[in-house]
Amino acid sequence: MQMQPLPAPKAGETWPADARYLEVSMVRKSFHGVTVMEGMNFRMARGELVSLLGPSGCGKTTLLRVIAGLMSPDSGDVVLGGRNITQIPAHRRNISVVFQNYALFPHLNVAENVAFGLKARGDTADLQGRVAEALDLVRMQAFADKSVTGLSGGQQQRVAVARALVVRPDLLLLDEPFSALDRKLRETMQVELKSLLRDRGITAIFVTHDQEEALGVSDRIAVMNAGRIEQFADPSTLYARPETPFVMDFVGLSLRLRGRVVDQRGGTCVIDTAEGRITARADLGVGAMAVVGVRPELVRAGAVGDAAPDRNLITPVLEDAMVLGSKTILHARATEGDRVICELSGIRQGFSRGDRVTLDWAVADTLAYEVAP
């Protein structure tokens, strides 16, 4: 079959040079005549841990199912390890999937659950040794002959991961595997999973709609919105240089103001907002509507005086100061659709509601996007 050539990475995308292990090209998928995904291109390198991050209904599970072969695309190709697997049925792809609800067999014990996939394939050489090794990886060996129904959520999830890994998959797909777990356990499982996959060099795609989870576990993150990838980059690039206002808002918090571009020269523009004029390094057309933003921990509070030429300065009225211990968050009154926040490290006192506060931040840290009027 003739392969569609992959497009070059867009600005803001960072692809490892060898990102050719999994290639999804020009995938289109519709349900009952409604297209939910079109022109989907996605590629990753062997050994990478990539997250699909996006709001509910954006197509994360659909993309995962197409890759796993649980759903066939209307058009497009999936190539794994140089082999076009688009027409290969799921059970012959050597791709393991871990679902949110574990899907363990209640009538089988822990070891039998893990052995299930191997037996189904007729791959029974050293069955016990391989099951023991997989259980060891997730630190569940002591539970081998226990019933799965008596296990906690975290333990069940470990068994599900062992069952997925025991077949030595070419690719591991995890669809919101920790969403049923409480926050503390989730964090433990994230750390465990990340080091397990790293140590074993397993290539995996991790679906989540939790941005902190994605930032914490991934080598790279594909931020999805309405069936498209908005940006595909490593966590720090995504956070520091979001390509679109959607990515800026979805990944992390930000101070965010809407306005109109009133001046632009030499790659620097001035945007007139409800809080005053904001300068940003961006090429936006004069007259265009824009959104400007800055990460709240890059905003300083309280330095009175005129703005330095390379800094933006606003003086909003404080609405609330939340002392959270490791940080203090200032919220200022803002026009609807705008958000004025500042994050200071540690416990900071002396800010009260109704005070006018001076906030300033570097022009270089200011994000700016043209938006539809």
Among 58, 118, 270, 321, binds ligand ATP (CB under 6 A): 58
Among 186, 209, 256, 295, binds ligand ATP (CB under 6 A): 209
Q: Would you give the binding string for ligand ATP spanning residues 25-44, x where CB under 6 A is met?
A: ------x----x--------
**How far is it, in rounded angstroms, from Cα 85 to Cα 75?**
13
Contact indicator for 69, 88 with CB cutoff of 8 Å: yes
54-62, 78-86, 290-298, 307-315 -> range binding ligand ATP (CB under 6 A) = 54-62
Distances (CA, A) of 343 to 189, 299, 361: 28, 7, 12
Residues 281 and 293 sit within 8 Å (Cβ to Cβ): no
Per-residue binding string, ligand ATP, 91-110, x by CB under 6 A, is --------------------
- Closest contact distance (angstroms) between CB of 31 and ligand ATP is 3
CA distance 371 to 373: 6
41 or 268: whose CB is closer to ligand ATP? 41
Min CB(251)–ligand ATP separation in Å: 16
256-278 in b/e form (b: 16+ CB < 10 A) is bbbbebeebeeeebbbebebeeb
Among residues 31 and 105, whose Cβ is nearest to ligand ATP?
31
Give the residue among 209, 205, 236, 203 at the shortest CA–CA distance from 223: 209
Closest CA to 134 of 117, 151, 121: 117
Is 211 a binder of Mg ion (CB under 5 A)? no
Compute the half-sphere exposure of residue 361: CA atoms within 13 Å on the CB side of its CA: 26
Q: Is 67 in the site for ligand ATP (CB under 6 A)?
A: no
| DSSP letter assigned to residue 33 | T
- The site string for Mg ion over 56-95 (x = CB under 5 A, - otherwise) reads -----x----------------------------------
Which residue from 92, 64, 62, 66 is spatially nearest to 77, judged by alpha carbons?
66
DSSP 320: E
92 to 27, 126, 278, 305, 313: CA distances (angstroms): 20, 21, 56, 68, 60
Please tell me the distance from the alpha carbon of residue 352 to that of residue 341, in angstroms, as a whole number.
14
Cα three-residue angle 343-264-371, rounded to 5 degrees: 60
Residue 221 touching ligand ATP (CB under 6 A): no
Where does this chain touch ligand ATP (CB under 6 A) — which range of 50-58, 110-118, 243-251, 346-354? 50-58
Q: What is the DSSP string of 106-142?
A: TTSBHHHHHHHHHHHTT--TTHHHHHHHHHHHTT-GG
Q: Should residue 366 be labelled a site residue for ligand ATP when binding is judged by CB under 6 A?
A: no
Q: Does 208 bind Mg ion (CB under 5 A)?
A: no
Q: Is 157 one of the binding residues for Mg ion (CB under 5 A)? A: no
Among the residue ranges 51-59, 144-152, 153-161, 355-363, the one whose residues contact ligand ATP (CB under 6 A): 51-59
Of 49-57, 128-136, 146-154, 337-345: span binding ligand ATP (CB under 6 A)? 49-57
**52 vs 167 by CB, closer to ligand ATP:** 52
Residue (58 or 138) nearer to ligand ATP, CB? 58
Nearest distance from residue 59's CB to Mg ion, in Å?
Answer: 8
Site for ligand ATP contains 56 (CB under 6 A): yes
Q: How far is the CB of 30 from Mg ion (least distance, A)?
A: 17
What are the backbone dihedrals phi and psi of residue 117, each rounded to the nearest 5 degrees, phi first? -65, -40
By CB under 6 A, name the one of 25, 61, 157, 231 that touches ligand ATP.
61
Choose between 40 and 189: whose C-beta lies nearer to ligand ATP.
Answer: 40
User: Does 57 participate in binding ligand ATP (rule CB under 6 A)?
Assistant: yes
Place of tokens 């520091």: 240
Q: Which residues bind ligand ATP (CB under 6 A)?
A: 31, 36, 54, 56-62, 209
Q: Which residues bind Mg ion (CB under 5 A)?
A: 61
